[in-house]
Amino acid sequence: MNKMTFAAIAVAAILLIAGAYVVMSMGNTPGKDGTDGGDSNQPDAVDSDAKTLAVAFPVEISANDRKMALSMTYPGKGESGYTYNYSEPYQFGLTASPASGYTGNVLIKMFAERSGEIGRLDLSVKDFQGKDVNWTLEKKTGAQALYNVISGDIASWKTNGSTSVRSFEVSFTATGNYTLIIQAFDLDTGKPISDPVTATPLYVPVKGQLDITALFHGEKYETSNGTYYRILIKTVNDWNIRYSVDPANFHLYDGNDWVQANTTATSFQTQSLAVGQTTQFFVYFDLADDDLTLEDRLKFSLKYEDPASGDMNIVLPTPQSN
Protein backbone atom coordinates (compact mmCIF):
# COMPACT_ATOMS: atom_id res chain seq x y z
CA MET A 1 0.00 0.00 0.00
CA ASN A 2 1.16 3.55 -0.63
CA LYS A 3 1.20 6.35 1.90
CA MET A 4 -2.12 7.76 0.63
CA THR A 5 -3.89 4.45 1.36
CA PHE A 6 -2.46 4.23 4.89
CA ALA A 7 -3.60 7.79 5.60
CA ALA A 8 -7.13 7.05 4.38
CA ILE A 9 -7.38 3.97 6.62
CA ALA A 10 -6.16 5.94 9.64
CA VAL A 11 -8.69 8.73 9.07
CA ALA A 12 -11.51 6.19 8.70
CA ALA A 13 -10.54 4.49 11.97
CA ILE A 14 -10.51 7.82 13.84
CA LEU A 15 -13.96 8.70 12.48
CA LEU A 16 -15.37 5.29 13.54
CA ILE A 17 -14.02 5.72 17.10
CA ALA A 18 -15.35 9.26 17.34
CA GLY A 19 -18.76 8.16 16.06
CA ALA A 20 -18.97 5.38 18.62
CA TYR A 21 -18.07 7.80 21.40
CA VAL A 22 -20.82 10.22 20.34
CA VAL A 23 -23.42 7.42 20.26
CA MET A 24 -22.38 6.22 23.73
CA SER A 25 -22.45 9.76 25.11
CA MET A 26 -25.95 10.38 23.76
CA GLY A 27 -27.14 7.09 25.21
CA ASN A 28 -26.01 8.15 28.71
CA THR A 29 -27.59 11.61 28.64
CA PRO A 30 -30.20 11.98 31.46
CA GLY A 31 -33.74 12.38 30.19
CA LYS A 32 -33.18 10.84 26.75
CA ASP A 33 -35.21 7.76 27.69
CA GLY A 34 -38.26 9.82 28.71
CA THR A 35 -37.23 10.21 32.36
CA ASP A 36 -35.50 13.06 34.17
CA GLY A 37 -32.30 11.75 35.75
CA GLY A 38 -33.25 8.97 38.16
CA ASP A 39 -31.23 6.68 40.39
CA SER A 40 -29.28 5.20 37.47
CA ASN A 41 -28.11 8.63 36.21
CA GLN A 42 -26.66 11.75 37.74
CA PRO A 43 -29.53 14.14 38.54
CA ASP A 44 -29.86 17.40 36.64
CA ALA A 45 -28.53 19.98 39.11
CA VAL A 46 -30.83 22.84 40.00
CA ASP A 47 -29.73 26.24 38.78
CA SER A 48 -31.87 28.21 41.21
CA ASP A 49 -30.30 30.49 43.81
CA ALA A 50 -32.54 28.81 46.40
CA LYS A 51 -31.42 25.31 47.38
CA THR A 52 -34.13 24.68 49.99
CA LEU A 53 -37.37 26.19 51.26
CA ALA A 54 -38.51 26.91 54.81
CA VAL A 55 -41.79 25.01 54.61
CA ALA A 56 -42.78 23.25 57.85
CA PHE A 57 -46.14 21.71 56.87
CA PRO A 58 -47.88 20.38 53.75
CA VAL A 59 -49.82 22.97 51.77
CA GLU A 60 -53.18 22.46 50.08
CA ILE A 61 -53.27 23.81 46.53
CA SER A 62 -55.90 24.56 43.89
CA ALA A 63 -56.29 22.62 40.67
CA ASN A 64 -54.88 25.55 38.67
CA ASP A 65 -51.60 25.43 40.64
CA ARG A 66 -50.93 21.72 40.05
CA LYS A 67 -47.87 21.40 37.85
CA MET A 68 -46.69 17.97 39.00
CA ALA A 69 -48.25 14.67 40.07
CA LEU A 70 -46.45 12.59 42.72
CA SER A 71 -46.84 8.96 43.75
CA MET A 72 -45.06 6.74 46.28
CA THR A 73 -44.40 3.01 46.38
CA TYR A 74 -43.19 1.19 49.49
CA PRO A 75 -43.31 -2.23 51.16
CA GLY A 76 -46.72 -2.98 52.64
CA LYS A 77 -48.59 -0.36 50.61
CA GLY A 78 -52.24 -1.40 50.44
CA GLU A 79 -51.67 -4.50 52.61
CA SER A 80 -53.94 -4.76 55.65
CA GLY A 81 -52.17 -5.44 58.95
CA TYR A 82 -48.65 -4.86 57.57
CA THR A 83 -46.14 -3.82 60.23
CA TYR A 84 -42.62 -2.43 60.07
CA ASN A 85 -39.55 -3.33 62.11
CA TYR A 86 -37.70 -0.92 64.31
CA SER A 87 -34.54 0.52 62.70
CA GLU A 88 -34.81 -1.64 59.55
CA PRO A 89 -34.25 0.20 56.24
CA TYR A 90 -37.14 0.17 53.76
CA GLN A 91 -36.90 1.26 50.14
CA PHE A 92 -39.48 3.85 49.04
CA GLY A 93 -40.03 4.82 45.42
CA LEU A 94 -40.95 8.29 44.17
CA THR A 95 -42.46 9.05 40.75
CA ALA A 96 -42.85 12.69 39.71
CA SER A 97 -44.76 13.50 36.51
CA PRO A 98 -44.76 17.16 35.43
CA ALA A 99 -47.79 18.64 33.74
CA SER A 100 -47.46 19.28 30.04
CA GLY A 101 -45.06 22.13 29.37
CA TYR A 102 -43.79 22.53 32.92
CA THR A 103 -40.03 22.86 33.38
CA GLY A 104 -38.31 24.24 36.43
CA ASN A 105 -36.34 23.65 39.59
CA VAL A 106 -38.20 21.13 41.73
CA LEU A 107 -37.80 20.42 45.45
CA ILE A 108 -39.47 17.41 47.10
CA LYS A 109 -40.07 17.86 50.80
CA MET A 110 -41.11 15.18 53.27
CA PHE A 111 -43.23 15.83 56.34
CA ALA A 112 -43.56 13.20 59.07
CA GLU A 113 -45.85 12.68 62.06
CA ARG A 114 -46.10 9.89 64.63
CA SER A 115 -48.66 8.83 67.20
CA GLY A 116 -47.37 9.84 70.61
CA GLU A 117 -45.35 12.72 69.06
CA ILE A 118 -42.28 12.63 66.84
CA GLY A 119 -38.76 13.98 67.30
CA ARG A 120 -35.81 14.45 64.96
CA LEU A 121 -34.29 11.14 66.07
CA ASP A 122 -37.47 9.09 65.51
CA LEU A 123 -37.08 8.79 61.73
CA SER A 124 -34.02 8.21 59.56
CA VAL A 125 -34.22 8.88 55.82
CA LYS A 126 -31.48 8.75 53.22
CA ASP A 127 -32.23 10.74 50.07
CA PHE A 128 -31.82 9.35 46.56
CA GLN A 129 -28.09 10.17 46.72
CA GLY A 130 -27.65 8.28 50.00
CA LYS A 131 -27.28 11.39 52.16
CA ASP A 132 -29.01 11.65 55.54
CA VAL A 133 -32.00 14.00 55.53
CA ASN A 134 -31.74 16.80 58.10
CA TRP A 135 -34.99 17.39 59.96
CA THR A 136 -36.63 20.59 61.13
CA LEU A 137 -39.18 20.26 63.94
CA GLU A 138 -42.22 22.49 64.29
CA LYS A 139 -45.49 22.30 66.23
CA LYS A 140 -48.74 22.26 64.29
CA THR A 141 -52.16 23.15 65.64
CA GLY A 142 -54.45 20.13 65.59
CA ALA A 143 -58.14 19.74 66.33
CA GLN A 144 -57.55 19.63 70.08
CA ALA A 145 -53.86 20.29 70.73
CA LEU A 146 -50.45 21.09 69.27
CA TYR A 147 -48.45 18.22 67.82
CA ASN A 148 -44.98 17.79 66.32
CA VAL A 149 -44.16 17.62 62.62
CA ILE A 150 -40.66 17.11 61.21
CA SER A 151 -39.75 18.14 57.67
CA GLY A 152 -36.76 17.73 55.35
CA ASP A 153 -35.63 17.69 51.71
CA ILE A 154 -35.44 14.31 49.94
CA ALA A 155 -34.82 15.35 46.30
CA SER A 156 -34.23 18.34 44.05
CA TRP A 157 -33.58 18.58 40.32
CA LYS A 158 -34.25 20.68 37.26
CA THR A 159 -36.98 18.99 35.30
CA ASN A 160 -37.08 19.05 31.50
CA GLY A 161 -40.74 18.07 31.55
CA SER A 162 -40.18 14.31 31.65
CA THR A 163 -41.33 11.87 34.33
CA SER A 164 -38.71 11.32 37.05
CA VAL A 165 -38.32 8.14 39.09
CA ARG A 166 -36.18 8.10 42.23
CA SER A 167 -35.89 6.09 45.45
CA PHE A 168 -35.03 6.84 49.06
CA GLU A 169 -34.46 4.78 52.21
CA VAL A 170 -36.61 5.02 55.33
CA SER A 171 -35.86 3.61 58.81
CA PHE A 172 -38.31 3.98 61.68
CA THR A 173 -36.32 4.57 64.87
CA ALA A 174 -39.22 4.64 67.31
CA THR A 175 -42.50 2.74 67.71
CA GLY A 176 -46.05 3.76 66.95
CA ASN A 177 -48.00 4.73 63.84
CA TYR A 178 -46.17 6.97 61.35
CA THR A 179 -47.55 9.20 58.63
CA LEU A 180 -45.19 10.33 55.84
CA ILE A 181 -46.21 13.07 53.42
CA ILE A 182 -44.34 14.27 50.32
CA GLN A 183 -44.99 17.38 48.28
CA ALA A 184 -43.29 19.13 45.33
CA PHE A 185 -42.34 22.81 45.38
CA ASP A 186 -40.92 25.18 42.79
CA LEU A 187 -37.58 26.43 44.14
CA ASP A 188 -37.75 29.67 42.17
CA THR A 189 -41.23 30.77 43.26
CA GLY A 190 -41.33 28.90 46.60
CA LYS A 191 -44.86 27.74 45.80
CA PRO A 192 -46.23 24.18 46.02
CA ILE A 193 -46.78 22.56 42.62
CA SER A 194 -48.29 19.22 43.64
CA ASP A 195 -50.88 17.88 46.03
CA PRO A 196 -49.50 16.36 49.23
CA VAL A 197 -49.20 12.58 48.90
CA THR A 198 -49.55 10.55 52.09
CA ALA A 199 -48.22 7.14 53.16
CA THR A 200 -50.07 5.76 56.19
CA PRO A 201 -50.56 3.71 58.29
CA LEU A 202 -46.91 2.82 58.80
CA TYR A 203 -47.11 0.92 62.07
CA VAL A 204 -44.06 -0.09 64.11
CA PRO A 205 -45.23 -2.30 67.01
CA VAL A 206 -43.51 -2.58 70.39
CA LYS A 207 -41.73 -5.93 70.57
CA GLY A 208 -38.65 -7.61 71.95
CA GLN A 209 -37.39 -8.93 75.26
CA LEU A 210 -34.57 -8.62 77.76
CA ASP A 211 -31.59 -10.82 76.92
CA ILE A 212 -30.43 -12.03 80.35
CA THR A 213 -27.32 -14.16 80.90
CA ALA A 214 -25.84 -15.58 84.11
CA LEU A 215 -22.09 -15.13 83.63
CA PHE A 216 -21.30 -17.84 86.19
CA HIS A 217 -23.32 -20.18 88.39
CA GLY A 218 -22.83 -18.10 91.50
CA GLU A 219 -20.93 -18.04 94.76
CA LYS A 220 -21.46 -17.83 98.48
CA TYR A 221 -20.76 -14.26 99.56
CA GLU A 222 -20.35 -13.11 103.16
CA THR A 223 -20.97 -9.56 104.35
CA SER A 224 -21.38 -7.89 107.73
CA ASN A 225 -25.15 -8.15 107.22
CA GLY A 226 -25.22 -11.85 106.44
CA THR A 227 -24.30 -14.56 103.98
CA TYR A 228 -25.80 -14.60 100.51
CA TYR A 229 -25.62 -16.48 97.26
CA ARG A 230 -24.78 -14.01 94.49
CA ILE A 231 -24.86 -14.38 90.71
CA LEU A 232 -23.31 -12.01 88.17
CA ILE A 233 -25.92 -11.03 85.57
CA LYS A 234 -25.52 -9.46 82.14
CA THR A 235 -28.63 -7.86 80.64
CA VAL A 236 -29.13 -6.46 77.12
CA ASN A 237 -32.24 -4.50 76.18
CA ASP A 238 -33.46 -6.23 73.01
CA TRP A 239 -36.78 -4.36 73.10
CA ASN A 240 -37.32 -1.63 70.51
CA ILE A 241 -38.18 0.83 73.30
CA ARG A 242 -36.52 1.84 76.55
CA TYR A 243 -37.06 -0.94 79.06
CA SER A 244 -36.20 -1.47 82.72
CA VAL A 245 -34.48 -4.36 84.46
CA ASP A 246 -35.39 -4.84 88.12
CA PRO A 247 -33.34 -7.08 90.46
CA ALA A 248 -36.52 -7.76 92.47
CA ASN A 249 -37.81 -9.82 89.53
CA PHE A 250 -35.10 -12.48 89.91
CA HIS A 251 -35.98 -15.71 91.70
CA LEU A 252 -33.69 -18.58 92.63
CA TYR A 253 -34.87 -22.14 93.21
CA ASP A 254 -32.60 -23.48 95.96
CA GLY A 255 -33.75 -27.10 95.74
CA ASN A 256 -36.72 -26.58 98.07
CA ASP A 257 -38.36 -23.20 97.38
CA TRP A 258 -38.29 -20.23 95.04
CA VAL A 259 -36.45 -17.35 96.76
CA GLN A 260 -36.83 -13.75 95.61
CA ALA A 261 -33.68 -11.67 95.25
CA ASN A 262 -32.75 -9.54 98.24
CA THR A 263 -32.70 -6.00 96.89
CA THR A 264 -31.35 -4.46 100.10
CA ALA A 265 -28.13 -6.46 99.88
CA THR A 266 -27.01 -4.59 96.74
CA SER A 267 -26.73 -1.00 95.63
CA PHE A 268 -28.07 -1.91 92.17
CA GLN A 269 -31.69 -0.92 91.77
CA THR A 270 -34.06 -0.72 88.81
CA GLN A 271 -32.28 0.58 85.70
CA SER A 272 -33.94 1.93 82.57
CA LEU A 273 -32.03 0.76 79.49
CA ALA A 274 -31.93 2.40 76.07
CA VAL A 275 -32.48 0.19 73.04
CA GLY A 276 -29.48 -2.13 72.75
CA GLN A 277 -27.93 -0.95 76.03
CA THR A 278 -26.09 -3.48 78.23
CA THR A 279 -25.63 -3.57 81.98
CA GLN A 280 -24.02 -5.98 84.49
CA PHE A 281 -24.79 -6.41 88.17
CA PHE A 282 -24.91 -8.96 90.99
CA VAL A 283 -28.17 -10.34 92.32
CA TYR A 284 -28.19 -11.56 95.90
CA PHE A 285 -30.28 -14.32 97.47
CA ASP A 286 -30.70 -15.23 101.14
CA LEU A 287 -29.42 -18.68 101.97
CA ALA A 288 -31.44 -21.09 104.08
CA ASP A 289 -28.31 -23.18 104.55
CA ASP A 290 -24.83 -21.64 104.56
CA ASP A 291 -23.17 -25.04 104.08
CA LEU A 292 -23.63 -25.46 100.34
CA THR A 293 -22.32 -28.58 98.63
CA LEU A 294 -21.78 -29.03 94.90
CA GLU A 295 -24.79 -31.34 94.87
CA ASP A 296 -26.90 -28.58 96.46
CA ARG A 297 -25.83 -26.03 93.86
CA LEU A 298 -26.60 -28.38 90.96
CA LYS A 299 -30.25 -28.20 92.02
CA PHE A 300 -30.37 -24.41 91.64
CA SER A 301 -32.51 -22.77 88.94
CA LEU A 302 -32.85 -19.09 88.08
CA LYS A 303 -35.71 -17.19 86.48
CA TYR A 304 -36.71 -13.60 85.79
CA GLU A 305 -40.37 -12.62 86.10
CA ASP A 306 -40.80 -10.01 83.38
CA PRO A 307 -44.00 -7.93 83.54
CA ALA A 308 -44.42 -8.07 79.74
CA SER A 309 -42.78 -11.33 78.66
CA GLY A 310 -43.66 -13.48 81.66
CA ASP A 311 -41.27 -15.92 83.32
CA MET A 312 -37.87 -16.23 81.64
CA ASN A 313 -35.73 -19.21 82.57
CA ILE A 314 -32.03 -18.33 82.76
CA VAL A 315 -29.42 -21.01 82.20
CA LEU A 316 -26.92 -21.31 85.04
CA PRO A 317 -23.43 -22.42 83.97
CA THR A 318 -22.13 -25.61 85.58
CA PRO A 319 -20.93 -24.76 89.10
CA GLN A 320 -17.35 -25.25 90.11
CA SER A 321 -16.56 -27.46 93.09
CA ASN A 322 -15.89 -25.62 96.33
In this prediction, residue 18 carries a pLDDT of 43
The residue that leads in pLDDT, 35 or 129, is 129
The arithmetic mean of pLDDT across residues 60-73, rounded, is: 93
Average pLDDT score over residue span 54-71: 92
Residue 196 sits in the same domain as residue 125: yes
Q: Which residues contact 12 (CB under 8 A, 6 or more apart)?
A: none
CATH code (residue 270): 2.60.40.1240
User: Percent of the chain, pLDDT > 70?
Assistant: 84
Quick check: is 120 in a domain? yes
Answer for the pair 41, 30: CB distance below 8 angstroms, yes or no. yes
* Backbone conformation region of residue 56, classed left if phi is above 0, alpha if psi is from -120 to 50, else beta: alpha
Query: Average pLDDT of 110-122?
Result: 93
Distance CA 208, CA 276 (A): 11
pLDDT exceeds 60 at position 29? no
- CB contact at 8 A, 70 and 154: no
Residues 195 and 279 placed together within one structural domain of the fold: no
State whether the Cα torsion 165-170-176-178 is positive or negative. Answer: negative
Residue 3 has pLDDT above 70, yes or no: no
**Domain co-membership, 246 together with 185:** no
pLDDT of residue 224: 81
Q: Which of 157, 183, 204 is the last residue of a domain?
A: 204
Lowest-confidence region among 142-151, 240-249, 305-314:
142-151
156 in the same domain as 77: yes
- 226 shares a domain with 109: no
Whether residue 246 sits in one domain with residue 177: no
**256-277 burial: b if 16+ Cβ within 10 Å, else e:** eeebebbbebeebeeeebebee
Query: For 197-221, what is each residue's pLDDT tens digit?
Result: 999 999 999 999 999 999 998 988 8
The reply to whether omega before 201 is within 30° of 0 (cis) is yes
Range of the domain at 72: 63-204
> 204, 224, 244: which is the final residue of a domain?
204
Number of domain units in the chain? 2
The per-residue pLDDT for 320 is 72
Which pLDDT score, from 0 to 100, does residue 50 have?
75
The whole-number pLDDT of residue 205 equals 96
pLDDT at 22: 35
Domain end (from 204, 227, 258):
204
- Model pTM score: 0.75
pLDDT by residue (tens digit) across 277-316?
A: 999 999 999 987 667 778 888 889 999 999 988 899 999 9
The reported pLDDT for the residue numbered 322 is 55
- Cα 102 from chain centre: 35
Confidence of residue 101 (pLDDT cuts 50, 70, 90): confident
